[in-house]
Amino acid sequence: MPTPTRRPGPRPVEGALALAGWLVLAQGCGDPSPVNVFEQHAVGKALAPYGVTMSPVPEETAELGWQAPPADCPHAYRITAHYEPVLRFEDDNEASLIVGRHPGREPDVALGPGPVPPNGMVPALLFYQGIRAERRGATRDLYVTRELIGPAAPTAACMPRTWDPMEDAFALGWPQLTGRLTAVGEHWNGMRVGGKCSRSACVDPESGGGGPEVHDLSCVVPPWHERLAGLFEHEGERYAWIVSEWSDGHGVGQGIHTERRTLVSVDHGRPLWSQTRMDHRFAQPLAEGGFGPVVRTWTLESIDACPGSLAAAGWPRPPELAAEETRLRDRLEHTDELRRSPPRRPPDRNPPE
């Protein structure tokens, strides 16, 4: 009986390449957008509470850069923080923030449409009211560049609770952008992380201690890692979905791991919405007693009606948020009153009898 001829099958590498090519063709035939279905679902879930829907676009690149707020339309935001479980020294909280052009300082470059010009800086001013500044609020000078808005706290990525609420906001809600044409799927290094965050890299994630047994661990942490995960469209305007990640370098379920998702108006250079979820595995004091890990969820929502906001995208703002925007605008126009306020007098050590 003749022996049947054995025909060689495809080699593993060739088979993998063929499968990859088929998947690319299948995706191209079914969906021209470079955005994957997981990111489409994430954007839909983020916008569902506002009644806003967006569609992925076929474009594969966009210029990513921050823009200064229009002189006649400052940007107002609501900030919420939620802890699970509840911390002993900080409850869930809500704050308000508004950013406008600085009334006493001019940009150092001529501004046109689009992002701040390269190497340019636009002075800005903020008013904040919330945790750490509940009674009268606080004001601070800012700078807006093509890539960054600040000052921004280098420790915001790792802190289990609020440290400086204003600098935390610009570190969490305004990721560092590329300032150039960026492709969907492209990665880049974001804002620097340091300060107290560096300590967690050289701490034993199980015992919480250091010492000779972990002398090989370096007290250095990486910056934020950014990725343009997708481009979306709503009524002719484009939006960038940016996914960020930071970790102190310990393994899964250990140390600190932070993820952030931000929806940015490409045409108006501002965030509509941003949410950061920090999984802090080092034990923290809890309200119920004892110590344990905590998950901190920090959310930024635009509450004004300026171009590039949630309201401009179709969100019917609740009346109380429209009133809050009006109040914030008034406070921003009168921040000089906060700056002129006399400092608190120290208590008299020798009061009259």
pLDDT in tens, 12-22: 444 444 444 44
Q: What is the pLDDT of residues 198-230, one digit of tens each?
A: 988 888 887 777 755 555 667 889 999 999 999
Give the mean model confidence (pLDDT) for residues 72-90: 97
Q: What is the pLDDT of residues 279-330, one digit of tens each?
A: 999 989 999 999 999 999 999 999 999 999 999 999 999 999 999 999 999 9
Residues 6+ apart with CB under 8 A from 344: none
Mean pLDDT for the chain? 88
Residue 265 contacts residue 255 (beta carbons within 8 Å): no
Residue 54 contacts residue 234 (beta carbons within 8 Å): yes
> What is the reported pLDDT for 12?
44
Q: What is the pLDDT of residues 113-127, one digit of tens each?
A: 999 999 999 999 999
| Residues β-bridged to residue 210 | none
Closest CA to 46 of 312, 299, 265, 314: 299
Residue 173: left (phi > 0), alpha (psi -120 to 50), or beta? alpha
pTM of the model: 0.86
Opening angle at CA 159, ends 155 and 165, nearest 5: 75
Residue 267 contacts residue 238 (beta carbons within 8 Å): yes
pLDDT surpassing 60 at residue 237: yes
Q: What is the pLDDT of residues 163-210, one digit of tens each?
A: 899 999 999 999 999 999 999 999 999 999 999 899 888 888 877 777
pLDDT surpassing 90 at residue 102: yes
> What is the reported pLDDT for 314?
96
Tokens representing residue 34 in the block: 């470079």
